[in-house]
Copies of this chain bind each other. A is one copy, B any other.
Amino acid sequence: MYRSHNCGELTTAHINTEVTLAGWVQKSRDKGFMIWVDLRDRYGITQLIFDEERSSKAILEQAKSLGREFVIQVKGTVIERASKNPKMKTGDIEILVSELTVLNQSLTPPFTIEDNTDGGEELRMQFRYLDIRRNPVRDSLIFRHKVTQQVRNYLSSGGFIEVETPYLIKSTPEGARDFVVPSRMNEGQFYALPQSPQTFKQLLMVGGMDKYFQIVKCFRDEDLRADRQPEFTQIDCEMAFVDQEDILNAFEGLTRHLLKEINGVEVDEFPRMTFDEAMQRYGNDKPDIRFGMEFGELNNIAQHKDFNVFNQAELVVGIAVPHGNSYSRKEIDKLVDWVKRPQVGALGMVYARCNEDGSYKSSVDKFYDQEDLAKWAEATGANPGDLICVLSGDTNKVRAQLSALRMELAERLGLRNPKEFAPLWVVDFPLLEWDEDTERYHAMHHPFTSPKPEQIELLKTDPGAVKANAYDLVLNGNEIGGGSIRIHDKATQALMFDYLGFTPEEAKAQFGFLMNAFEYGAPPHGGLAFGLDRLVAILGGQETIRDFIAFPKNNSGRDVMIDAPAPIDDNQLTELSLKLNINS
Contact = CB atoms under 8 A, between A and B. Distances in A.
Interface of A: 1-3, 22, 24, 40-42, 69-71, 103-107, 109, 127-133, 138, 141-142, 144-145, 148-149, 152-153, 156, 161-171, 173, 177-193, 199-200, 203-204, 206-210, 217, 219, 221, 223-224, 230-231, 233, 241-243, 245-246, 488-489, 512-513, 517-524, 549-551, 553, 556-559, 561-569, 572-583
Given A70-B521, A129-B204, A133-B208, 16 more contacts: A1-B246, A24-B523, A104-B518, A109-B520, A129-B207, A131-B207, A144-B164, A149-B156, A165-B551, A168-B230, A170-B563, A185-B224, A186-B565, A513-B561, A513-B563, A573-B581
Nearest to A199: B562
Contacts of A579: 578-581
21 contacts: A1-B243, A2-B241, A2-B524, A41-B210, A42-B209, A70-B521, A130-B206, A145-B163, A167-B193, A168-B564, A170-B562, A170-B564, A170-B565, A178-B572, A181-B193, A185-B223, A189-B565, A192-B564, A573-B581, A577-B580, A577-B582
A556 B187 CA distance: 11
Given A104-B521, A581-B573, A207 B565 contact: no
A550 B145 CA distance: 25
Contact of A168 (B200, B208, B559): B559
A65 B22 CA distance: 73
A250 to B, nearest CB: 11
B513 A208 contact: no
Given A162-B145, A208-B133, A522-B71, A167 B217 contact: yes
Nearest to A6: B210
Given A71-B521, A562-B169, A562-B513, A207 B581 contact: no
A180 B105 contact: no
Contacts of A231: 166-168
Given A164-B233, A550-B164, A188 B582 contact: yes
Contacts of A576: 180
Contact of A145 (B156, B217, B513): B156
A522 B210 contact: no
A370 to B, nearest CB: 56
Number of copies of this kind of chain in the complex: 2
B171 A130 contact: no
A113 B558 CA distance: 48
Contacts of A169: 559, 562, 564
Main secondary structure on A side of the interface with B: loop
A245 B2 CA distance: 11
A519 B69 CA distance: 10
A566 B2 contact: no
Nearest to A160: B145
A202 to B, nearest CB: 9
A562 B18 CA distance: 63
B190 A568 contact: yes
A567 B190 contact: yes
A404 B223 CA distance: 54
A142 B54 CA distance: 61
A142 B212 CA distance: 10
Contact of A207 (B22, B130, B246): B130
Contact of A187 (B3, B242, B582): B582
* Interface-centre pick from A106, A107, A524, A565 (highest chain B CB count, 10 A): A565
Contacts of A517: 129
A573 B189 CA distance: 11
Contacts of A200: 550-551
A223 B563 CA distance: 29
* Interface-centre pick from A24, A142, A145, A169 (highest chain B CB count, 10 A): A145
A454 B573 CA distance: 42
A523 B22 contact: yes
A202 B511 CA distance: 41
A209 B141 contact: yes
Closest CB pairs A-B (n = 6): A132-B207, A106-B521, A170-B564, A189-B565, A2-B241, A183-B565
Contacts of A518: 104
B521 A219 contact: no
B183 A181 contact: no
B170 A566 contact: yes
Contacts of A105: 521
A149 B155 CA distance: 11
Contacts of A581: 573-574, 577-579
A344 to B, nearest CB: 27
Nearest to A40: B208
A103 B525 CA distance: 11
Given A181-B193, A567-B188, A580-B578, A127 B520 contact: yes
A156 B149 CA distance: 8
